Amino acid sequence: MNHAAPAIFQALEASWFGAGIRQSIWLYPLANVTHVLAVVVFFACVAIMDVRLLGGFAATAPGRLIAKARTAAVIAFLCVAASGFLLFAAEASHLALNRVFQFKLALIALGLCNVLLFEWIVRPRVVSLAPGQRLPDVARASALASLTAWLTIVICGRSIAYF
């Protein structure tokens, strides 16, 4: 327990919930594996959408590909968030003070803001485009921002243990 952390994080870690996850022979490892696998699926879905927005997979209509990949990405993201919360609860007081974890959370917020901007600005412009049609520059910019943010988030997640 890190006593320098805000009381809410100490309480979460010390709660029956946090202690139960930390002490379980199965729950913490299962949450960890689930988190890693869900991150892989989420990033793969994001990469497919972003590569299409960058001009790859040009033989496929962007709207159709994005619709299918987005559904899987949302499900994977929910699994990432749920398993991530379990992992966080087990050591909340330490993670709350970890600068890499804090940076990761800020990047997740930026990544989700990019998703909202994509939904409001980019998707309406690309959803009805035919295969092979040039995508707007704003779609390419959104895709680059997305790939950069989510890849950096994955790097931060794997780096937390070292800082």
Domain extent listing, the chain: 7-162
pLDDT of residue 44: 98
Secondary structure, 3-state, 100-159: HHHHHHHHHHHHHHHHHHHHHHHHHHHCCCCCCCCCCHHHHHHHHHHHHHHHHHHHHHHH
pLDDT of residue 1: 84
Maximum separation of any 2 CA atoms in the chain, in Å? 57
pLDDT of residue 3: 81
Residue-by-residue pLDDT tens, the chain, 163 positions:
888 889 999 999 999 999 999 999 999 999 999 999 999 999 999 999 999 999 999 999 999 999 999 999 999 999 999 999 999 999 999 999 999 999 999 999 999 999 999 999 999 999 999 998 999 999 999 999 999 999 999 999 999 989 8
Q: What is the pTM of this model?
A: 0.92
Q: Give the number of C-alpha atoms closer than 13 A to the C-alpha of residue 156, restricted to the C-beta side.
A: 18
